[in-house]
Amino acid sequence: MAFCVKCGAQIADDAKFCPNCGEKVAAAPPVVKEPDREALLPAVSSANDVCQEIYKMECKKDAFNQKKKRILSMLPSELFVFVGICIIGILLLCGWSHELKILKSDGTFIGWFKNAFKEIQVSFPFILVGVIDFVLGVIFYRRYQSAEKKRRAKAAEMDAQMKQVDDDIDLYYAKNYDIIKVLPPDYRYALASDYILSTLRNRRADTIKEATNLFEDQLHKWRMEQYQAEILNRQQAMNDHLAVLDVAAILLSIR
């Protein structure tokens, strides 16, 4: 037996109007019943296959991203050679300047001539090595520019590969939306779909709602275990640090 929302009078279940005040009785919303476990299993299994395939694509994208990071983190060896050549050039200039300062003239023409001849003798090896150093610097700088261009091109290629994977994921998801929509939007990824399928197969859940609740409980347990592991690692690091301090204190006390 139901009651009128306006006057509170009792009304029959199949009545359309209240017999007391004439208020129209709102129709009860239809009860949506979820499919049973046996009917859900094939659909969830297919949705899980889609999620696993998307996960493989995401792993492929992550591999491209890691490769791009390695490419950008590794500077061309030509750069280090060029820097070394520049340092050698600076040292040559310093050595040349130092050698020239050592030479002194007695003020006479002959002394000046001897001093100039000595300057030429001292300067020649420095100039020769300096010219070779300069030529090598130009060569390796050009090689560095070429290597850097190739490195940037490889990084851009990785970006293009990742974009292509993103497009493939979007296209694959759109093609299989009718299959994957059996799962709630927040659970359309590999870990969640695999766990939901396992709970249905193991008869731990009979509906999608029960399976997602179990998955949320498991996620909470995993987070707590991870948090506890982090605390234990910090405690261990602190104990190791204190042990080192104790040893240091003992050694100081012995002295």
State the Cα–Cα distance between residues 253 and 138, nearest whole angstrom: 61
What was the pLDDT predicted at 55? 92
Computed on alpha carbons and rounded to an integer, the radius of gyration of the chain in Å comes to 40
What was the pLDDT predicted at 175? 93
State the Cα–Cα distance between residues 203 and 19, nearest whole angstrom: 48
pLDDT lower than 70: segments of the chain: 1, 27-36, 96, 98-123, 255
Question: pLDDT (tens digit, 9 = 90+) per residue, 99-112?
Answer: 666 555 444 445 55
Local structure of residue 187 (DSSP, 8 states): G
State the Cα–Cα distance between residues 99 and 87, nearest whole angstrom: 18
What was the pLDDT predicted at 106? 46
Question: pLDDT (tens digit, 9 = 90+) per residue, 145-185?
Answer: 888 899 899 999 999 999 999 999 999 999 999 999 999 99
What was the pLDDT predicted at 214? 93
State the Cα–Cα distance between residues 190 and 121, nearest whole angstrom: 77
CB atoms within 10 A of CB 129: 15
Q: Is 191 helix (H, G, I), strand (E, B) or coil?
A: helix
CB atoms within 10 A of CB 208: 21
Do 165 and 57 meet the contact criterion of CB atoms below 8 Å apart?
Answer: yes
What was the pLDDT predicted at 239? 80
DSSP characters for 76-120? -HHHHHHHHHHHHHHHHHHHHHHHHHH----SSHHHHHHHHHHHH
What was the pLDDT predicted at 16? 75
State the Cα–Cα distance between residues 34 and 208, nearest whole angstrom: 8
